[in-house]
Structure formats: C-alpha cells, structure tokens
Structure 1
Amino acid sequence: MTKIKESSSNFANRQMLANECPEVFAAHIIGGQWSLAICCYLINGSLRYNEIKKCLPNITERMLTLQLRKLEKSGVVKRTIYPEVPPRVTYELTPIGHELSPIISELGKWGEKLKGLSP
C-alpha cells in the first residue's frame, strides 16, 4: 500500500474529492481488492484473524493487518478482544458495515455482467 505524502498535489486532490463527493469517500474506504474482500467474508459473521487469512491466502499478514486497521478506524469493522489466555480477537462488521451487504450484492451482479462481456 503506497502512502501519499500529505504535501503532494495527489493527496490534496484526493482530499478535495473525498470532501466534495461522498461516493469517492466511500470508495476510498472499501476501495482496493482486500478491503472489499474482507467485508465480503465478514458479512456472514465474525471471524478471527487466522480465519480471514485462510479466506484470503494470497494476502500478506502485513496487508491484512493494515486493511483491518483501516476498516476499524473508518467504523466499518469492530475488533473485539476477549479477556482470555491466550487472548482471543474477533472481527465483525459494525451496523454501518452491514449496510454494505446490498451494495456488495449489486457489485457482484455487475461483476458477473462484466465477466460475460470479456473476450
């Protein structure tokens, strides 16, 4: 994941678009293959880190951690730590995260149409 310097014009353009256009803001939160894929798996219920990793075998541990933190910070995913030894941590969609369900469903339908158009 490439971090854009806050002093760059690219960063300023992204910020302006995100502030002006709620669709761009939302796309920034779930954009990229991993965030959306994580949300797809969490729609079915809470999962532990290793369970998510098994669902996405090609994601690196660092990228999974970064994406989960991003989704948690944005309020889409809730991280729960249980006071056990060893500690158990689960991830689940928040109520606002569950609102993605019909959007993800429609994206799936749209993706299937696009696949059908590919040569």
Structure 2
Amino acid sequence: MNTNEKIFSRKSAPERSARMVEAIYGCKWSLTVYQLLQNGKHRPGEMVKSVEGLSTKVLNECLRKNVEFGILQKNIYPEVPPRVEYEVTDFGQKFIRILDQLEQLQDEIERDNQSN
C-alpha cells in the first residue's frame, strides 16, 4: 500500500437537512407551532388565538415553509366555509425528535456551564 495514498475525503454537512434546521430555528414560531399541534390545535385560527403576538401573516409563512420541507401536511376540506388543518407528517415526527434532542443537548450544556 502506498503510504501517501489518501483514504478519506473532506466531509461536508448534509446540505438540505442543515438548511432545514437553520430555517426552522430561524423562524421563531416553528417550535411553537409544533407545540400547538401536539396540544390539538390544528387550525390556523385556533393557533393565532392561542398565542400572544402571533399574527395570521407570520403564521401562514411559517406553515408554508414547514409544508415545503415536508414537516407538516396541509389538509383542505371541501366545506363551506373551507376548513384547513395542519398535521405533522411521519418525516416531521422524525425531524421534531431531532430538534428535541438538540434542545436536550442545549440543556446539558447549560447545566455543565452552571456547575463550572
């Protein structure tokens, strides 16, 4: 074997998932939306009424971004007036578990910093 032969190539961050994490954490309302969904608030009107400072415009942008990433699914019911509800997809469940692990890691870091 040639000792000068390189056996490892440069490792890069996973582009799409890194962008997703950045976009979700960059949107200050996404984590709140996940919490609302977990607590049975699936309609945008319910969400806006449940959170002080959350506007319909900002919520719609946040929901749109989460649907584009495949974290949430938008369900439109053919009723009059139209009813729209959101739910977490299977992929979204996996993604939210990762975000929960990041939050646990942050808590651990903060505990370690307080004890030092």
Which bracket does the TM-score occupy, shorter chain normalised?
A: 0.5 to 0.7
Residue 114 of structure 1 deviates from its aligned partner by 6.1
Q: Which structure's CA Rg is the greater one?
A: 2
Instruction: Please list every run of 5 or more consecutive structure 2 residues that lacks an aligned counterpart in the other structure.
Output: 1-11
Correspondent of 1:83 among 78, 81, 84: 78
1:21 is aligned to: 13
Instruction: Please list every run of 5 or more consecutive structure 1 residues that lacks an aligned counterpart in the other structure.
Output: 1-19
Partner of 1:58, secondary structure, is coil
Root-mean-square deviation (CA, aligned residues, Å) is: 2.5
Correspondent of 2:89 among 85, 94, 110: 94
1:31 is aligned to: 25
Deviation readout 1:89-111 (Å, 9 max, x if unpaired): 10111111111342233344345
1:49 is aligned to: 44
Partner of 1:30, secondary structure, is helix
Distance in 2 (CA, whole Å) between partners of 1:114 and 1:105 is 14
* Superposition TM-score, scaled by structure 1 size: 0.65
Distance in 2 (CA, whole Å) between partners of 1:111 and 1:45 is 27
Larger relative contact order (CA 8 Å, sep ≥ 6): 1
Instruction: Give the residue type in structure 2 aligned to 1:21.
Output: A
Report how many aligned residue pairs link the two structures: 99
Identity of aligned residues (%): 32
